[in-house]
Structure 1
Amino acid sequence: MIEKMKFLSITGPKADIDRVVNTYLSKYEIHLENALSELTAVESLSPFMEINPYKEALSTANSFYDELADPEKISAKPMDTEQALNTIRRIQSDYQELSNKRADLESQLAALDESLRVIRPFRNINYNISSILKFQFIHFRFGRIEKEYYQKFEKYIYENLDTIFIKCDEDDQYVWGLYFVPEHEAQKVKAVYSSMHFERIYMPDTYEGTAKEAFEQLTETRNRAAADLASADQKKADFLLRNQKDIVASRNAIAQLSGNFDVRRLAACTHGDKDVFYILCGWMTEKDAHSFQNDIKDDSRIFCIIDGEEDEHLKPGIHQQPPTKLKNPKLFKPFEMYIKMYGLPAYNEMDPTWFVALTYSFIFGAMFGDVGQGLLLFIGGFLLYKFKHITLAGIISCAGVFSTIFGFMFGSIFGFEDVIPALWLRPMNNMMSVPFIGKLNTVFIVAIGFGMCLILLCMVFNILNAWKAGDVEHIWFDTNSVAGLVFYGSAVVSIALILNGKTLPGGIVLFIMFGVPLILIFLKEPLTALIEKKSEVMPKEKGMFVVQGLFEMFEVLLSYFSNTLSFVRIGAFAVSHAAMMEVVLMLAGAESGNLNWIVVVLGNLFVCGMEGLIVGIQVLRLEYYEMFSRFYKGTGRKFEPFRSVK
């Protein structure tokens, strides 16, 4: 069902808005509207212009809150405003100090890693690096050559050059080394090395001792720096752990303050004789609205008008339809997911949650009737819904109940049809004679009959919804209105008479049953205009009106026929389920009498998963296209309170 809403206009001194929000509004769910948009009849309104002073503190608190392992499970005592702000400032200051130390260590580690990267290939040089870097008369270069060019260099060029190349390290692609050359030959030799794609590596003068000693010393220093960095990370983690309750408490307090302050964005200001007053507008449930009004009755600084009650200083004009807040029993609650997927019902529209819950579960059970598999769906869905709060699992659990019921009706348990008797029929074997058609599976006939009843019921829903909305066309002349109900109902009655061997009514009665409704549907636009007393009843282009009307009538008749046949899928899936399980048992060796139980178990799991998914989708298709499209618009807007009541 849809909760009944009341529109509230709340006003008081501008400086008192925070007290009102904290003391009263925080206790209730209120869907706030923009007061400037709603109160167009009130003159001299201005926006409530103030900058949120808690925004920066909330951002800081959220950054700490997000770093906690599981903040929602941390219980913390409430804090007042000053205490919360001071706590966040203290935590930010201490944490920043730890972060700065960590950043320095991280920078040191990066520098050491770079130094190690440079010297690692040359660590086998058994000579003082700083001495090499001070050579004046011998030219030298540290670098690397691709292996392909090094082999050519070594084979064809090296012996003819006045140079010494000391190979230090290699991998699959490069050879690292150091070459020496007399100063006067430096340019010539450098050119040769460049032609061999020698890549110079700049060696800083910070190393001490031999390359090996420098490498080992750097490695040791780097390990100490890494340990210090890990220690700094642990200190940050320990700091957050020690202060987690303060972080949660201060964050919650500041979030509440910031949320309260954001209410100003939707408020308006009006000037009285002496003071400035705020005005807040919004929707509450009828129960909350009366509780709120009772709560503030002794507070002289706040004044509230509910719905159309008017005061000489404040006359609210309601411009938007009320938001929709659904309230259904726990059993039907999971099915609200399907309603929201299609669209929330408008405030004056019927909430179809109960209808979906019953029809979806019933049709699913009819299409997937098996005692064993139904119990699996029921138990599995129930456990997932209870402990993991998965909404779809709740729907599956309800559907599993009806699968179990229809399993008894069809006499099927895990595909075995010789274990329990069928309380109704076996879907694959039961046939009946249909006039003009011949033998047809009974479940197909029952499925179509059931679908016809659902279509008629949806037409009744459409008439009721249209009656609430005062929509003349959809009450009397639409495809799913009274005219459509009479036509389709007449078709259902006629088919029932034929199946039972009864004679049809006379021609005049048939014309009234079928012809008059079709004429009313054909003339729905001019008839609606006539009832609503519009100036133009008939359209100007009458020829086009007739042609368009004829095509629409053809589409109406075709849709009645196709929508009805669409329910055949209920019987088809009931038969296919039995057929699939028959195949599983055949593969398991049921005919030979030696059952392979592994095949039986795996086959049941496969059918339960695959067919359950397909049937679930097909039932949802029937709900949306064959039923919802007849009576449900789903144009409502969600009830969104500015704060969830805790």
Structure 2
Amino acid sequence: MAIEKMTMMNVVGRIENVNEIAKEIILLGNVDIINALNEIRESHFTLSVEEENVDEIVDMSMIQTFEEQINYDDVKKKIDTLKEIYKEDFIINKKYIEEPYDFLKCIPRIEEVYSELIKPYNELKELEEELKKIDEYRKNFIHMKGLDIDVKELIGLKYFTFFVGVLSKEDRIKLKKNYENISAIVLHTGSSDSGEVYLIITPKELEAETNRILRSLNFRKLELPEYYTGTPKEIIQKFKKREEEIKKTIIDLKKRMSELKEKNENFINRCCTRLRMEERIKQLKEQMVSTNNFFYLTGWVPRSDKAHIKNKLSKYKDLLIVYKNEEEITDGFRPPTKLNNPKLFSPFEFLVKMYGIPSYNELDPTIFLSLTYMILFGAMFGDSGQGFILFLLGIAINKGKNTNLIGKILSRLGISSMIFGVLYGSVFGFEHIIPAILIKPFENINTMLFSAIGLGIFFFIISYGYSIANSIKQRDLKEGAFGRNGVAGLLFYVVLLLTIGSNFIEIKIISTRMGVIILGALMIVMTVKEPLTNLILKKRPLYHETPSNYYIESGFDTLETLLNMLSSTVSFIRVGAFALTHVGLFIAFETIAELLGNTTGSILILILGNIIIIGLEGLIVSIQGLRLEYYELFSKYYNGEGVEFKPIKL
């Protein structure tokens, strides 16, 4: 439940060391760079007036944006082409950066390797494309092999033109009906999987009209190569011969390319990593400013990393590093938010960020969301067998490249489902294998529904506590003390529950009359929260708008608060309802299995039922749990209007 404390780091160094220092900062991977020019303009980039800082302070009057003279676009295109040739995205390896190198000296070698590989690569692509076309041509000519006509003679016709194409079975019937309208010779040459093949010969003067009619019949023309001559049968033989030649050439080219690729693979991998570093250095320099002698850099860093940064940069002479805490920074420069949670809960940061990043001065809701979401999911999907399957699925998904967070969340939800399965006494839907430690949902329907509402009330009260804590942290008296989600709202909610509850249980905790009086007083407090706060803090004016507009808006807001409290509480009844649905759905499959009267068929039905329950209901329950988190709980205490900590790194 921690948001790391940040400090602003201002760095001034000699211009000749800028690339090396930029590289070190990128390799550190813990500096969120911000624009140094804006910092200096806002007077946040200040240096102490001491003898050793005089040169840096004097030079600050001559700052300008950093102008990078080198353009790596052409090199990047060549490396991207080489990656395409290798058919892989090379792994970025820090060891290629940590060893000494000069990227400018790498460029001639990159161009040399590119020249060696691009020629055979382009030749290979052309041959492979030709091979595809030959395969397509051969398919087209197969349908014409019965014709004893030299294609060259057809191509050389002076007053006629020809084309070959395919019609579907339905369109062929339409063609027969329109023979008298087509000013052309129509020859059926064969059949293919896609339809009937025709040779059409038409006068050149009537070619446009013939094309118009054929288009209306969905006639699909087949491409024929002009450079092959002879009868269709002879041309097919030429295709076969050319195909053999191409395949032989392709084998030789691939062998040659394989040797070249193997020889240069390590070098290309180094270049990919080093180019990435050069791009990051350029990105970093865009946020710097410089003079003839110095560069100025600024960014946010975690306070816990200050010693590590100092240790890494201590080898550079005349390097000045100044730290400023967020309290010393004026409005307009909010520190970014870096979440730091235990491994058990850190995957759930993904769900928090989907809603919004916590503000720097806001409590991190990750642990509360993690616990409540796992409880809600387990309560709705309580089954030790099905939960174990979800756990295994989570582990399997976790091995994927881009799905590890989802896998980690799923495995934790699976564990929660297993725990509640033991409490419910449920294994793959069966409730007679193990005894229920806590309750059997289907045998205690009312208890499940009321318990779900009780769980919601408990979560709401904790949510109010979070909201009040956030208000204290942000020094917001208006919302913390008198707001709908502050102390007044919490008291209103508790008194409302006690007043309603007293009418359903024998113990009179609070009388209805007293409850109504307290609720009325609290509604008035919430309605007048702005003028009341301004009065206490001695601020003027009391209202940010006209009093009439304020009270109309505030009155409706207070009424909406009352309705929202009741509807949100009742909304948690879905937790009990889905727990019952989970049992009921399996009972349905179990009944079908019994009706079959066949052991094999019954087992298959039960397996199918479990698969459907795990897939379909598991998805629905996870969505419903997330809905309760976002709409019912987050709306009480979480804004999520922060900026994520995004350090520049390789």
Short-chain TM bin: 0.7 to 0.9
Determine the structure 1 residue equivalent to 2:460.
455
Is 1:560–2:582 an aligned residue pair? no
Determine the structure 1 residue equivalent to 2:71.
53
Q: CA deviation at 1:538?
A: 4.4
Provide the C-alpha distance between the structure 2 equivalents of 1:4 and 1:193, rounded to a whole number of angstroms.
78
Determine the structure 2 residue equivalent to 1:570.
575
Deviates more, 1:11-20 or 1:121-130: 121-130
Determine the structure 1 residue equivalent to 2:218.
none
Q: Which of residues 402, 410, 425 is equivalent to 2:416?
A: 402
Determine the structure 2 residue equivalent to 1:340.
353
Q: 1:117/1:361 Cα in 2 relative to 1: closer, same or farther (>3 Å)? A: closer
Normalising by the residue count of structure 2, what TM-score does the alignment of the two structures yield?
A: 0.79
- SS of 2:286's partner is helix
1:143–1:176: 8 Å Cα contact kept in structure 2? yes
Mapping 1:159-170, distance limit 5 Å: none
Q: CA deviation at 1:176?
A: 7.2
Q: CA deviation at 1:567?
A: 0.9
Q: 1:469/1:173 Cα in 2 relative to 1: closer, same or farther (>3 Å)? A: same
Q: 1:429/1:592 Cα in 2 relative to 1: closer, same or farther (>3 Å)? A: farther
Determine the structure 2 residue equivalent to 1:256.
277
For 1:265, the aligned partner's letter is E
2:6–2:326: 8 Å Cα contact kept in structure 1? no
Q: Which of residues 290, 296, 301 is equivalent to 2:313?
A: 296
- SS of 2:442's partner is coil
Deviates more, 1:535-544 or 1:297-306: 535-544
Q: 1:317/1:173 Cα in 2 relative to 1: closer, same or farther (>3 Å)? A: same
Determine the structure 2 residue equivalent to 1:95.
117
Q: CA deviation at 1:114?
A: 12
Mapping 1:497-508, distance limit 5 Å: 497=502, 500-505=505-510
1:13–1:277: 8 Å Cα contact kept in structure 2? yes
Q: CA deviation at 1:470?
A: 1.7
Provide the C-alpha distance between the structure 1 equivalents of 2:591 and 2:118, rounded to a whole number of angstroms.
71
Q: 1:301/1:590 Cα in 2 relative to 1: closer, same or farther (>3 Å)? A: farther
- SS of 2:340's partner is coil
Q: CA deviation at 1:22?
A: 2.3
Q: CA deviation at 1:346?
A: 1.0
Determine the structure 2 residue equivalent to 1:161.
none
Q: 1:541/1:173 Cα in 2 relative to 1: closer, same or farther (>3 Å)? A: same
Instruction: Provide Cα deviations, 1:620-646, integer angstroms capped at 9, x if missing partner.
Output: 1100011001110111112112114xx
For 1:288, the aligned partner's letter is D
Instruction: Provide Cα deviations, 1:189-238, integer angstroms capped at 9, x if missing partner.
Output: 999999999x9xxx999889999778756763564246435643554455
Q: Which of residues 438, 442, 445 is equivalent to 1:424?
A: 438
Determine the structure 1 residue equivalent to 2:372.
359
Instruction: Provide Cα deviations, 1:543-588, integer angstroms capped at 9, x if missing partner.
Output: 4444444333221111111011111111111222222222222222
Is 1:411–2:425 an aligned residue pair? yes
For 2:16, the aligned partner's letter is A
Is 1:490–2:495 an aligned residue pair? yes
Q: CA deviation at 1:99?
A: 4.4
Give the paired residue count: 601
Instruction: Provide Cα deviations, 1:5-60, integer angstroms capped at 9, x if missing partner.
Output: 11101111223210212245423421101111222145553211223433332332
Instruction: Provide Cα deviations, 1:384-427, integer angstroms capped at 9, x if missing partner.
Output: 32566532232222222222222222222222223322222222
Mapping 1:20-59, distance limit 5 Å: 20-42=21-43, 44-59=62-77
Normalising by the residue count of structure 1, what TM-score does the alignment of the two structures yield?
A: 0.79
Q: Which of residues 628, 633, 637 is equivalent to 1:631?
A: 637
For 2:463, the aligned partner's letter is C
Q: Which of residues 597, 602, 620 is equivalent to 1:596?
A: 602
Q: CA RMSD in A?
A: 4.5
1:38–1:316: 8 Å Cα contact kept in structure 2? no
Mapping 1:136-535, distance limit 5 Å: 143=162, 172-175=196-199, 220-221=241-242, 223-225=244-246, 227-229=248-250, 231-232=252-253, 235-236=256-257, 238-269=259-290, 271=291, 275-297=292-314, 299-308=316-325, 319-386=332-399, 389-430=403-444, 441-495=446-500, 497=502, 500-505=505-510, 510=515, 513-535=518-540
1:526–1:537: 8 Å Cα contact kept in structure 2? yes
Provide the C-alpha distance between the structure 1 equivalents of 2:552 and 2:208, rounded to a whole number of angstroms.
87
Structure 2 residue runs of 5 or longer lacking an equivalent are 44-60, 166-171, 215-223
For 1:277, the aligned partner's letter is F
Q: 1:237/1:560 Cα in 2 relative to 1: closer, same or farther (>3 Å)? A: same
For 2:6, the aligned partner's letter is M
Determine the structure 2 residue equivalent to 1:584.
589
For 1:423, the aligned partner's letter is I
Determine the structure 1 residue equivalent to 2:54.
none
Provide the C-alpha distance between the structure 2 equivalents of 1:619 and 1:471, rounded to a whole number of angstroms.
30
For 1:379, the aligned partner's letter is L
1:8–1:281: 8 Å Cα contact kept in structure 2? yes
- SS of 1:428's partner is helix
Q: CA deviation at 1:276?
A: 2.9
Provide the C-alpha distance between the structure 2 equivalents of 1:349 and 1:206, rounded to a whole number of angstroms.
74
Larger-gyration structure (1/2): 1
Provide the C-alpha distance between the structure 1 equivalents of 2:321 and 2:429, rounded to a whole number of angstroms.
65
Q: CA deviation at 1:140?
A: 9.1
Instruction: Provide Cα deviations, 1:515-550, integer angstroms capped at 9, x if missing partner.
Output: 332211011121122234332214774444444443
1:385–1:391: 8 Å Cα contact kept in structure 2? yes
